[in-house]
Each structure stands twice: as structure tokens, then as C-alpha cells.
Amino acid sequence: MQDDISEVRVFAPATLANLGCGYDVLGMAIHGPGDEIVIRKASEKRHVTISQITGDNGKLSLDATKNTATIAAQAVLDQLDLGGGFELDIHKKMPFGSGLGSSAASAVGGAFAMNELLGAPLSRHELLHAAMQGEAAASKAWHADNVAPGLLGGICLVRDNPSLDVVNIPPPENLWITVLYHPEIEILTSEARERVPSVVETHHATAQAGHLASLISGLYESDFDLIKRSVVDHIAEPGRRELIPHFGDYEKRSLEAGAIAFGISGSGPSLFAFCHGEIAANKVAQAFQYEPIDTYVSKVNTQGVIRIE
């Protein structure tokens, strides 16, 4: 541990998961919303604790054994076989339960902040396991489609979730995203997962594999026509779109405004529109300016979690 550092502040970004055809294996980080985590040494304490949480409307517990940020921070200590007292401030600066990776952002922030305070002995890839321990405590599932891009930045393909074998996909220079979030719609992850079939018919599995492969190719080649044809989900979206009122209308209006593709982020209710250029992305956002919908316009966030002053 570096003796001259007593406090570290980090910002972990919101993330979009699935991206249409990449159920539980594909995600990207965006700019704008996220979580700010502050960690400091607390010599009078023996474990990782929480001093305060803001921006959560009282929904989160101060019990460190139940929070993704502190679970992930403790996992870093365990990974390094270290002990000591630390306390965290957690500032939620993103919609809670929005499908934008809120729990993953806290987990990523907790793991990264602890590592920075200790002098960064672990690489970002080496922090994946610790961050996933925090995320798994909240989601009750081991899938890194939010944690990986939040930690590593950019677009991430999780080749294998159990081993956390993650590949970074280079985003096209002019790929912009408009995120639509309706604050009055709440979707429980457990309910959304019940809408995903446990058995997938062969023709749907084959089609999904083709779309995922062609989307990855489109991203590598900056082929926006191929990206447009590839963001199609045969597995999760058919059942989940029924949980989002006016989904069909939102999709139609986004495409008419200039989006090239449209889908559900994670379990929802947030929706995303892929756009070719900033002008198109802003036009999509403007199409909803008179609706009770929050919009975020962003390029792909290639940095991921960062340390801030």
C-alpha cells in the first residue's frame, strides 16, 4: 500500500448490455451517468465499511455485506491476501434499476478504487473477478456483460463467462448511441429473466449466432449497414419488449428520426438506439423531448472506470 495516499475517488460509467443479439455476452460503456466511489483508509476499523450512500433515494443498505461496491473492494483485499480497515462513500449518479448497469458500476468502482488505493498492484483484467463477485451478489448470476465494459471500457465480448475470458471490440469512430430511460417504468431483473426461454429452438439459435458474428464483423469493419442488419434479438427481446409500454412506438420513432438499430439495454427499461454520427443521435433524442423520458447521447466510452481528483 502506498503510504502517501489516504483517499481515492473514482468514477465508474453506466453500461449497455446485450446490444440486441449478444445476450449475456456483449456490452459497452457510455459517457454521462455512472457511480462515484470514494475510498479511504480507516485504521480504527478492521473491515471494509460504508460511511454514506447518496442518490439512491434510500433504497440501498449501509450493510457492507450487501453492497456490490464493498463486496468487490473486499474481494480485492482477499485476492491480494491483505487486510485492514477502509470506508467507502458511494454516490449514485445514474438511474437506479434502469438496465444501465447500476450494480455493476458500483462493483467496478469499488474494486478499482481499492486497487488504486493499494498502489494498483492488479491490472484491470485481474480486477474482473473481484468486480464480478460484487455484481453476482446483486444479480444472482455470473455474467460480465456490464462489469467488463465498465472496467475495461469500450465494447466487450465475453467469450466465456465462468472464466471471464473477455475480448475488447474496437468501436467505429462515428458510432453514437442515444439511450432512452423512462423513470416511471420499473422492471425487476428476475421478472425479465423469466421472459427468456430456457430452451431455444435451433433455427433461432442459428439466426442469433449469425447476427452476433456479423455485428462483431460490422464493428471491426465500421460497416454501418452490416451493424444495422445485425442488431436483431431472437432470444430475450421478444418476451421482454412486452414489459415496456409503447416499445413499438419508441422503436418506430427512433428509426424514423435516424437511428440505424434499436433495442433493450439489459433487462430494461432503458432502450438504446445506434446512430451513424452525432447529428442523428441528437435527432433521436429530440424526438422524445416532450415525453417523460430521460435521454443520454454518447459515443462509446473507451476508458471505462477512471480515477478523478
Residue 204, all three cell numbers = 433461432
189 is catalytic: yes
The residue from 49, 189, 291, 302 that is catalytic is 189
CA distances from 167 to 57, 164, 206, 228 (A): 36, 10, 22, 22
Alpha-carbon gap, residue 79 to 67, rounded angstroms: 18
The residue from 36, 87, 135, 251 that is catalytic is 135
DSSP letter at 309 equals: -
Q: Between 247-257 and 278-286, two packed helices, what is the crossing angle to 10 degrees?
A: 140
Judge contact between 136 and 120, C-beta under 8 A. no
Q: Between 124-139 and 68-79, two packed helices, what is the crossing angle to 10 degrees?
A: 140
Q: Which string of b and e fits 243-282 if b means at least 16 CB within 10 Å?
A: bbeebeebbebbeebbbbbbbbbbbbbbbbbbbbeeebbb
126 sits in the region (left: phi over 0; alpha: psi -120 to 50; else beta) called alpha
135 is catalytic: yes
Alpha-carbon gap, residue 87 to 191, rounded angstroms: 34
Alpha-carbon gap, residue 274 to 28, rounded angstroms: 12
Judge contact between 209 and 48, C-beta under 8 A. no
Residues 6+ apart with CB under 8 A from 8: 38, 39, 40, 113, 116, 117, 307
Which residues are marked as active site? 135, 189
